[in-house]
Structure 1
Amino acid sequence: MLKCSLHDGNTLPPVGLGVWQASNREVESAVDCAFGHGYRLIDTASIYENEAGVGRALKNSGLPREAFYITTKLWNTDQMRVQQALEESLTKLQLDHVDLYLIHWPAPSQGYFVDAWKGLLAAKEQGLVKSVGVSNFQPEHIQRLQQETGITPVVNQIELHPLLSQPELVDWCQKENIAVQAWSPLAQGGAGVFNSKTVSTLSRGYGKTPAQIVLRWHLQRNVCVIPKSVTPERIRENIDIYDFSLSKQDMKAMDALNENRRLGPHPDTFVNV
């Protein structure tokens, strides 16, 4: 899976660099390292407060604009000011458009996410974004968008890892032709996953690191991934996952690690404004 096809005709790199909790300085070196190892997707967000660092790294990379793919996200408090929030992000990123713009959380108690979606669609019409999607949305949230606008998001970026494999949500999105992208695909550093008997055994058997086993499991579920790292060796390791495949039996063993255990907040209730 070299590219993930989106229903709007665009494509999404299956592996990208996540930069959550990285400082502007860390981001600059991490993006430079990632580009050197073949990454082309960088995933940031306004709430990460590191878009400026990403922007500097992009400018200093020497790569033409069409050579890289940038995702950023609309924060909850900005759902009623999409145009201004996006322009602020573009200024920090030193770009005239982003490739993918996501509503970061539905924050349903606010009651604004449908209006925010309409704002994203308007931004796409203006050429400020190429594709529009959502993050942390449940089926009922997406169905509201479909009912009120007739437009389905191209991506749903969700918490997804072996401890929270969310098979029903993944299946639902894929049936709706919505690409699924995993945040925290390694369960935030692999605690409770990398040292499991299943992953340890597969790591030895395939001659791959635990992280590579987990990321390969995602790709074989047709799930895109944005593992976060600022460590050069791990950045290199996380994209070196195309020279092996897990067997059906080993995929089932990985599936069995699911505990329905969230490491982040629940989309139905999270606001944090």
Structure 2
Amino acid sequence: MSCLKSKAFRWSVSFLIFLLLWAVFPQYRVFSLTLLLMHIPVLIWGIIDIRNSFFCQAFCHKDGEQSSLAITFDDGPDPEITPEILDLLKKFGYTATFFLIAKKAERYPELVKRIIGEGHTIACHDLDHRYTCNFRFTAAMVRDIGAARDILKRISGKTVRLYRPPVGLTNPHLKTALKKLNMECIGWSGSVRDGGNRFRKTFHLIPELARPGSVVLLHDTVPVPENKSEFLNQLENLFISIQEKKLKTVSLHSLFSLQPYL
């Protein structure tokens, strides 16, 4: 995505035009101020919804795809549930991409090795999962994401190229940071918000995520342990739904023809 075509660039130009109008033409200040204020929700929307590709291109959905989808898991690895997810994937012969938190991967290296050994792809979900991650500038992003990638390389021998920001939040510095690291930004198109909001009992919607071209976002962590069995049941129902719709799962990098590792 070129600078001139980026949504953030067009937003900035529009904002500056109306700011100039407000400053130079007092008679239009109410009008120009109204339009300036209308820019704020657009900016917020761009920050919180990665599917907009507002600050940088994010791969979220494969348009025109008729037979395949990609399953992804965030926030792992977690010894309480990742092994059972891997068992289910093996049972159905499905492949997935795991966006790993590097500090958790460092604690459970055997799970990282099992993920790779069973034919799945690993990717980066940052060094940790602080909600302040999106307030970093370019240098801090390069430092932290680079450190996360180094940890994953020490464990797996692979230099990952795919990155999904924590909570899917983006900012103006992400594009430059990922370019410096030669990494790609990954989003999603299908989710039931099963991460920190598992208490909301959205699991019954998981089987509905089986759609061609979709990047399915799920989580291999257990914020609410008593919901684990229901999550696994609905995950199996998703896999059954994929079978019934005669779809196939592919690795995320295959869906978009990306290079997963350097």
For normalisation by structure 1, the TM-score amounts to: 0.44
Q: Which has the higher helix share?
A: 2
Q: Relative contact order (alpha carbons < 8 A, sep ≥ 6): 1 or 2 greater? A: 2
Greater C-alpha radius of gyration: 2
For normalisation by structure 2, the TM-score amounts to: 0.46
